[in-house]
Amino acid sequence: MDRRRFLQLIAGGAAGTFLARNALSLSLPAEQSASGALLGVVQGTDPGAAAIKAVELLGGMKKFVKPGESVLIKPNISWDRRPEQAATTNPAVVKAVIGMVREAGAEEITVADNTCNNAQNSYRRSGIKETAEAAGARVPYVVENDFEEVNLKGEVLNKWKVYRPALKADRIINLPVAKHHGLSGVSLSMKNMMGLIGGRRNLLHQKLGESIVDLTAYFKPDLIILDAARILIANGPQGSTLDDVEDRNIIAASTDPVRIDAFGISLFGDREPFNREYVSRYLKIAESRGLGSYDYRAKGFKKVKLG
């Protein structure tokens, strides 16, 4: 960091970052339609390569991460499960994303999640701590001191404890894994935002759809990469036996949480116990609040197959 950047940081501080981010998120849709897809879907057996291709379809990582920026990558590390159990984001995807973010010139890369099971176990067994650290990211455990109470100004969520790095980072990249969820039907990108808050998260279940829309509206992730290389089709969100896991070999990328979640739901088909009425209700709420478009096929949909 040179002196100029240092002074910028101090002088500009939070206000500058905040303004810049808001301005950017407003201007993104226009930019995208000009130079890339709104939703990039890549089919391929190598999840890392598929992730890179999916981001390319949107116009490349340089569009989302500028040199010198700090980036928070938020995979799903909620559960003490092995990668092949598909309860956590595929470490190969995490690795590929860290690589892209570094290449784009990010200065500080953090990978973190507020886990449900014991954090040490979940970070390790998911393979994410080891992989992400080897790829050059910081992978800190989320501890009680890391939270700051802010007003989320949502429809159901107001004062809530938020993971401080999520407030401070220049960019947030959301890296959910597509999986079944007993209550909401599926857990996709919006559900994954729950890992950025603390407090009594369990309360959110009572208005789960509305809550995760509130969270998405607040955090406005700059980029979402959905891991559907393997998906958990039953007994989610943590699964257990490999019978509940199906290979889909798909990675999708978008900046639109509604679009990518609508696509995510389509991966699960009409299979019971997915209740598409229920699942889609929160997407409609999200769409009505201007977070994105439910009709993911309408425009800007690009699908590519890797060999």
Partner 1 sequence: MAKTRRIFQILFLILFLFLFMANEFEGISDSSLPLTLFLDLDPLLSISVILTSHSFQLKFLYGLITIALALLLGRVFCSWICPLGALNNFASYLKRSFSRTGNRLDRHKGLLSLKYYILFFILVAAILGWNGAGLIDPIPLLVRSLTIGTDPAFYNLVSSSLNSLISLEIPLVSGLSSSFLATLKGNILPHAYPLFRQSLIVGGIFLAILILNLVIPRFWCRYLCPLGALLGLAGSRQSLARIRINEKKCIECGMCNRVCQGEANPYPAIAERECIKCFNCHEVCPSGAIEIYNGKTSMAREDVDIERRWVLASAAGAVAAAAAVGAGVEIGRAHPKRIRPPGALPEPEFLEKCVKCGECMKVCLTNGLQPSLHQAGFAGMWTPILVPSIGYCEYQCNLCSQVCPTGAIRKLSMEEKQSIRIGLAWFDKDRCIPHATGINCGVCEEHCPAPGKAIKFEEEEVTGKYGFDYILKKPYIDQSLCIGCGICENKCVITDRPAVRVTSSNESRGDNQVFL
Q: Decide: is 278 part of the binding site for partner 1 (CB under 8 A).
A: yes
In Å, how far are 186, 192, 258, 296 from 291, measured between CA atoms? 19, 16, 7, 13
Q: How far is the CB of 25 from partner 1 (least distance, A)?
A: 29
Q: Decide: is 134 part of the binding site for partner 1 (CB under 8 A).
A: no
Q: Decide: is 183 part of the binding site for partner 1 (CB under 8 A).
A: yes
Count other C-beta atoms under 10 Å from residue 121's C-beta. 13
Cβ proximity to partner 1: between 17 and 235 the closer is 235
**Separation of alpha carbons 49 and 55, rounded Å:** 10
- Residue from the set 25, 158, 182, 297 that interacts with partner 1 by CB under 8 A: 182
Q: How far is the CB of 274 from partner 1 (least distance, A)?
A: 11
Please choose, out of 92-100, 216-224, 251-259, 276-284, the segment that lies near partner 1 by the rule CB under 8 A: 276-284
Q: Are 173 and 253 in contact, with CB atoms under 8 Å apart?
A: no
Q: Decide: is 40 part of the binding site for partner 1 (CB under 8 A).
A: no
Nearest by Cα to 55 from 66, 72, 42: 42
Q: Decide: is 292 part of the binding site for partner 1 (CB under 8 A).
A: no
The secondary structure element, H or E, covering residue 167 is helix 164-168
Q: How far is the CB of 14 from partner 1 (least distance, A)?
A: 14
- Residue from the set 64, 123, 268, 274 that interacts with partner 1 by CB under 8 A: 123
Cβ proximity to partner 1: between 55 and 279 the closer is 279
Q: Map the footprint of partner 1 across residues 97-116, applying CB under 8 A.
A: 116
At 30 the three-state DSSP class reads helix
In Å, how far are 21, 70, 72, 167, 173 from 15, measured between CA atoms? 10, 16, 19, 12, 21
For strands 223-232 and 177-181, give the pairing.
Answer: parallel
Q: Decide: is 298 part of the binding site for partner 1 (CB under 8 A).
A: no
Q: Decide: is 145 part of the binding site for partner 1 (CB under 8 A).
A: yes
Q: How far is the CB of 202 from partner 1 (least distance, A)?
A: 5
Q: Are 232 and 244 in contact, with CB atoms under 8 Å apart?
A: yes
- Residue from the set 169, 196, 208, 291 that interacts with partner 1 by CB under 8 A: 208
Q: Decide: is 202 part of the binding site for partner 1 (CB under 8 A).
A: yes
For strands 159-163 and 245-254, give the pairing.
Answer: unpaired
**Separation of alpha carbons 294 and 286, rounded Å:** 9
Q: Scanning the structure block, which residue is given the tokens 């993971």?
A: 163
Q: Decide: is 288 part of the binding site for partner 1 (CB under 8 A).
A: no
Q: Give me the residues that bind partner 1 (CB under 8 A), please.
A: 80-81, 116-121, 123-125, 140-141, 143, 145, 181-183, 200, 202-203, 205-206, 208, 235, 237-238, 240-241, 273, 275, 277-278, 281
